[in-house]
Amino acid sequence: MAITYKDAGVDIDAGNRLVDRIRPLARSTMRPEVLGGIGGFAALCRIPTGLAEPILVSGTDGVGTKLKTALATGRHDTVGIDLVAMCVNDVLVTGAEPLFFLDYFAAGALDVDVAATVIAGIAEGCRQAGCALVGGETAELPGLFAAHDYDLAGFCVGVVDRAAIRPRTDLVAGDVVIGLPSSGLHSNGHSLARKVVLDVLGLPFDARPDLLAGASVADALLAPTIIYAAAFRALRQLPWKAAAHITGGGLVENPPRFLADETLAVELDPDRWEVPGVIRLIATAGVADEELRRTFNMGLGMVIVVPADDASATVTALAPWSARPVGRLVPRAGGAPSRYSGE
């Protein structure tokens, strides 16, 4: 009997069935700039009109250890949103409009239903971001992944007029930092979160500790990352200066990334926002405050710098995202470039 590719662990027919399932999902995300559809060797997209000097902006990321919780619980419907969010939110802080997105799905053995559920989440994330899902790659990698394991990577391209690129160079002491709340952990720090919640605290996925306010451990660990694209569209008529997506490195390392001037620091007032219950739960295991701050977003998924005179108008424009002033830029005068007030 002849040996086939399927005997080696790769099912071409399953891949074709998945492509058929993906087509309508991708079609639902299309933008007018996109030419063609799923199935070609590459995706084609026009540059939007009306930009004096269009600059392409790109970002790539994954979902990380959060996938282990999805696999352990059999809940695969939101990690695709996370994938889009982690890429799109990075692109947004440059002032760019997300145009299109591609994904890479790699598994030990292709489960069409699981893969289709994940990619349906990616399509939902693209709809939230206003970008088109123009294609991707699905790979079966037997021997590299366990049969039911998978990994994700995403790639986003956006466009911005050169004159509108952020951060601006006119940041000054007194500028106000506006915070947009996160939905919880988002997609960073899950290795520490899982170790503490599952191993140190010994909580099962269906446990509902008081600090989670009725949610289960699985709910808290899998809450999808917020996509802030609509919030940034609301900012277009306002003179915002800079923004930081709070990802790996937390509130310690991310805000200073928009500070080109080493004479400035970001000072945050922790009394101005609420720390999510899942992070407070992790803290009960004895994780130090500094470790929490450099690992998790602490409840702020995005921070935006605006002139002090425009802070009130910005908070009003971003009210649907529960925006609030959370700090300001201050003279550095030694010390860390990002710190809490009073420290």
- The pair of structure tokens assigned to 143 is 């021997």
pLDDT over 80 at 78, yes or no: yes
**pLDDT computed for residue 264 by the predictor:** 96
Under the banding of pLDDT at 50, 70 and 90, the label for residue 262 is confident
Q: Under 8 Å CB-to-CB from 337, ≥6 apart: which residues? A: 255, 256, 259, 262, 264, 265, 266
Q: 323 forms bridges with which residues in the sheet? A: none
- Span 274-298, mean pLDDT? 97
- Span 93-113, mean pLDDT? 97
Name the most confidently modeled range: 28-32, 141-145, 243-247. Answer: 243-247
Residue given tokens 């394991």 in the structure block: 149
Give the DSSP letter of residue 142. Answer: B
E strands of 48-96, at which residues? 54-62
Separation CA 297–CA 301 (nearest Å)? 6
**pLDDT computed for residue 335 by the predictor:** 82
**pLDDT computed for residue 64 by the predictor:** 96
Element holding 251 (H helix, E strand): helix 250-253
- Residues 22-66: tens digit of each pLDDT: 888 888 999 999 997 667 788 899 999 999 999 999 999 999 999
Q: Under 8 Å CB-to-CB from 255, ≥6 apart: which residues? A: 177, 244, 246, 266, 268, 303, 337, 338
Separation CA 166–CA 157 (nearest Å)? 16
**pLDDT computed for residue 8 by the predictor:** 73
Q: 138 forms bridges with which residues in the sheet? A: 105
**158: nearest Cα among 238, 259, 227:** 227
Choice among 17-31, 170-184, 290-304 with the minimum mean pLDDT: 17-31
Which pairing describes strands 264-268 and 338-340: parallel, antiparallel, or unpaired? parallel
Separation CA 140–CA 144 (nearest Å)? 9
**pLDDT computed for residue 259 by the predictor:** 95
Homologous superfamily (CATH) for 6-164: PurM-like, N-terminal domain (3.30.1330.10)
**pLDDT computed for residue 122 by the predictor:** 98
Separation CA 218–CA 54 (nearest Å)? 42
**105: nearest Cα among 62, 45, 134:** 62
- Span 93-114, mean pLDDT? 97
- Residues 313-328: tens digit of each pLDDT: 999 999 999 999 999 9
**pLDDT computed for residue 145 by the predictor:** 92
Q: 56 forms bridges with which residues in the sheet? A: 159
Q: 176 forms bridges with which residues in the sheet? A: 306, 328
- Residues 188-224: tens digit of each pLDDT: 999 999 999 999 999 999 999 999 999 999 999 999 9
**34: nearest Cα among 132, 180, 103:** 132
**pLDDT computed for residue 324 by the predictor:** 98
On whether the 176-340 domain is CATH 3.90.650.10, my answer is yes
Average model confidence (pLDDT) across the chain: 95
Separation CA 50–CA 163 (nearest Å)? 13
- Span 163-182, mean pLDDT? 97
**pLDDT computed for residue 40 by the predictor:** 78
Q: Under 8 Å CB-to-CB from 59, ≥6 apart: which residues? A: 87, 88, 90, 91, 155, 156, 158
Q: 37 forms bridges with which residues in the sheet? A: none
- The pair of structure tokens assigned to 184 is 């919880």
Indicate the domain borders of the chain: 6-164, 176-340
Amino acid letter at 97?
A: E
C-beta of residue 314 within 8 angstroms of C-beta of residue 304: yes
Element holding 313 (H helix, E strand): helix 311-317
User: Model pTM?
Assistant: 0.95
Q: What is the CA radius of gyration of the chain?
A: 21
Q: Under 8 Å CB-to-CB from 283, ≥6 apart: which residues? A: 289, 292
Amino acid letter at 99?
A: L
Separation CA 31–CA 51 (nearest Å)? 17
E strands of 47-88, at which residues? 54-62
**pLDDT computed for residue 199 by the predictor:** 98
- Span 3-7, mean pLDDT? 78
CA quadruple 158, 164, 165, 168: dihedral sign:
negative
